[in-house]
Amino acid sequence: APRLPKVLQLTLAVIKPDAVAHPVMLEALHKIILGNNFVVVKRKDLAWRRQDSERFYAEHSGRFFYQRLVEFMSSGPMRAYVLAREDAIRHWRELMGPTKVFRARYTSPATIRARFGLTDTRNTTHGSDSVESAQREIRFFFPDFCAEEWLEKEEPSFR
Ligand code: RTP
Ligand code: MG
């Protein structure tokens, strides 16, 4: 019998422009999501204007990589997902691996960023890092989606 989830949690996962640009990578990442017991709650293909990118990454303004990050994230199409599973935030970040691609290759070669990442900026995926950022980021990408309502309605069927 399937294990009962302790807490069904939502996270925001984004496939960044470097990975969306390569259909084989995009497909591989989609399969990794489905193969790791995530429920795809919402999914959307979109592209950011520069100002969306600046707003999303405002917490990093002033860091040395901010300009290239902002430029990169508004350089082409992306795919965003709201994903649900037990411990979704931690699981997705574990699958992604360390931010820095060369560290990822060295310490955790099976992770997404180790396998597909190009540079510390062009590192294929994003994942929320806490419950608070998941809430903010889900709202940022899916303003019409109500997480509380979804959980209230759907969580019982996962128990
Ligand atoms: P993310 O927010 O994208 O899931 O990644 P993260 O928490 O692992 O990394 P964070 O420190 O929040 O950085 C956000 C994104 O900025 C880019 N970055 N570039 N040295 C660099 O060039 C550098 N450092 C970070 C990456 O795209 C990182 O995911
Ligand atoms: Mg982060």
Q: Which two tokens stand for residue 153?
A: 């309605």
Q: Is the pTM of this model over 0.90?
A: yes
CA 127 – CA 112 distance, rounded (Å): 12
Within a domain: residue 158? no
State in Å: Cα 63 to ligand 1 middle: 11
**Is residue 2, in this structure, part of any structural domain at all?**
no
Query: Does the pLDDT value for residue 3 go beyond 80?
Result: no
1 within domain boundaries: no
94 lines ligand 1 (CB under 6 A): no
159 falls within a domain: no
ipTM score assigned to the predicted complex: 0.92
pLDDT of residue 73: 98
Q: Which DSSP helix (H) or strand (E) runs through 42?
A: strand 39-46
CATH of the domain at 79: 3.30.70.141
Structural element, H or E, at residue 79: strand 78-86
126 is a catalytic site residue: yes
The mean predicted confidence, pLDDT, of the chain is: 95
Tell whether the model's pLDDT for residue 19 goes beyond 90: yes
Is the residue at 157 inside a domain?
no
Q: Is the pLDDT of residue 96 over 90?
A: yes
Residue 153 exposure: Cα atoms within 13 Å on the Cβ side: 6
63 within some domain: yes
Q: What is the pLDDT of residue 6?
A: 62
Surrounding residues of ion ligand 2, Cβ less than 5 A: 129
Q: Is a pLDDT exceeding 60 seen at residue 43?
A: yes
Integer angstrom CA distances of residue 146 from 4, 36, 42, 70, 143: 24, 24, 11, 27, 8
In which band, very low, low, confident or very high, does the pLDDT at 159 lie, cut at 50, 70 and 90?
confident
Domains contained in the chain, number: 1
Binding annotation: 16, 65, 93, 99, 113, 123
- Let me know if residue 43 belongs to a domain: yes
Model pLDDT for residues 47-93, shown as the tens digit of each residue: 999 999 999 999 999 999 999 999 999 999 999 999 999 999 999 99
> Which of helix, strand or coil describes residue 5?
coil
Give the distance (Å) from ligand 1 centre to CA of residue 43.
22
pLDDT for 40 beyond 90: yes
98 lines ligand 1 (CB under 6 A): no
Backbone angles phi, psi at 13, to 5 degrees: -120, 140
Q: Is the dihedral angle over the CA atoms 88, 90, 94, 98 positive or is it negative?
A: positive
In a domain, 131, yes or no: yes
Write out pLDDT tens, residues 125-151: 999 999 999 999 999 999 999 999 999
**Domain range enclosing 143:** 8-152
Cβ burial 66-78 (10 Å sphere, 16+ → b, else e): beebbebbbbeeb
